[in-house]
Structure formats: C-alpha cells, structure tokens
Structure 1
Amino acid sequence: MILSALLTSVGINLGLCFLFFTLYSILRKQPGNAEVYAPRLVAEGKSQQTSNFNLERLLPSAGWVTRAWRPSEAELLSTSGLDAVVFMRIFIFSARGFTFAVIVGIFILLPINYMGKQLSLDLFDLPNKSLESFTISNVDDGSNR
C-alpha cells in the first residue's frame, strides 16, 4: 500500500464523516422528521413541533453529541431501555480498547518495525514508498526486537 493512497483514503473518509454528521444535525431538527428521530416523544405527546420557519433549524450543531454522553446508566435504562445500556457499554469498551491499541501501535510497534533493516528504505521518498517498511516484514529474522 502506498502512503499517499492511504492518506487520500483517510481524507475522503473524514470528509464523508463530517458530511453525514452535518446532515444528521440538520435533519433531526426538522419538524417533519420528528417521527424518525424522536418516535418516543411523539408517541408520548411530548414532541415540540412548530411549523413556522426558524433559521436555527438549518444550522448544524454539535450539542446533541454532548447530551448523548451525559446520562448515567440508570437514566439511560429508564429512558431508552436495556439495549441502549448494553450498546453504550460495548461502545465505551471498544473505544478504550482501540485507544490502548493505538498507543501501543504508534509508540512501540511502528518504531520497532521502521528501524528494521530487512527492506531498503529511502526516507526522502517515503510518501511514494510502500507501507511495508512499517510492518513486521521489515524486521530481520531472529532479531531480538
């Protein structure tokens, strides 16, 4: 894999992520979408639907992200049910495990693999080289690393 292709892919995925985040943030505020984004509030009659135009509905906001992380497990259980509690536990556990793996990978595995002498490597032409220099195939056979 070529480093420039990897960075292009990362850029495209981050752009799409930002686009979908923005679309969700705008669409959830529209009164016609209340049945989709807040079905429980509509069923209980607590939905606040206004039909007059409001410019704030067309502007994306990230306030819903912080509100989504605030409730405790007891509050989440009472409002959303057991499925939401289990999903949040799995999500938080996965995020913590991924964080640990990233730290180990960046600060331990990448330097060890990069300093291997198995593959020839030109530091100045790194963006056009293969990412094999960062894999275990770059470490010599029988190495103490």
Structure 2
Amino acid sequence: MWATIIAVAGTLLGGIVTSALQTRATRAIRDAESGERRRDAQLAAVTALVAAIGDHRRAMWRREDLRLAGADADTLAAARSQSHVTRSAVTAPLVSVSVLAPDLAEVATAAARAAFGIRQAVDADELATLRQTAIDASDQLVKAASRRLA
C-alpha cells in the first residue's frame, strides 16, 4: 500500500515539476521574443529617423546653396517647399525613437535640430560647417543606437 502511495505521489510530483519547467521555459522564450521584437522596432525607428534626417539635411543644403548662389524666386520656392516636406518627414520617426528608446531621445533630438539648423548661412563655408555639424550629430545618434541595440 505504501508503495502505491509513494508511486502516485512521485508521479504527481513529477508532473508538477515538469509543468513548472515547461511554463518557465515558455515564459523565457516569450520574453526573449518580446525583447527581440522591441529591439527590432527600436532599430527600425532609428533607421527611419537617420534616413529622414539625411533627406532633410540634403534638402536644406540644396536650398541654402541655391539661395547663396542667387537662384531665382521660383527655384528657391520649390527648394523651400521640398525642405518643408523633408522636415515634416522627420517628425514621426523622431517620436518613435523617443517613445521606443527614450534613452536615445536626447541624441536623436540633437541630430534633428542640427539638420533643422542648416539655414541662413552667410557664405558657402558656413553652410559647409552647418552641414558637417548635422552629419556629425547623425553619426552620434548612430553610435549611441549601436551601443544601445548591440
């Protein structure tokens, strides 16, 4: 009789332990997949932001270069319009980075502001400096993101 009770208890205990281990393994897999999805979303947001900032930086450089070269009003208006489109395109990925990776928000905002700051250069040298500052700020964002997401 005691042998039967011990066998039943052992079987029940074995089932409980197996169930607990399976639950723990399932939770670990789910947590790992969730972390991977979160990392993928953060990487996608940073990638979209860096691309949008690059587009805006190029649009602003072109706009300012045309202005400094004395382009006609229609050409300047078209360049200004394009720069407004590219600036607007920065907003959504900047918000995504700020929400998904708040520790990157400051460097992301600095990169966006550096690109926004390419304006009213007094000459080609200042325009080149503003452009390089914006490139450097984007590079800092990429470096911070690579440290964060590696």
TM-score normalized with structure 2 length:
0.26
Larger radius of gyration between Structure 1 and Structure 2? 2
Q: Normalized per residue, which structure has more helix?
A: 2
TM-score normalized with structure 1 length:
0.26
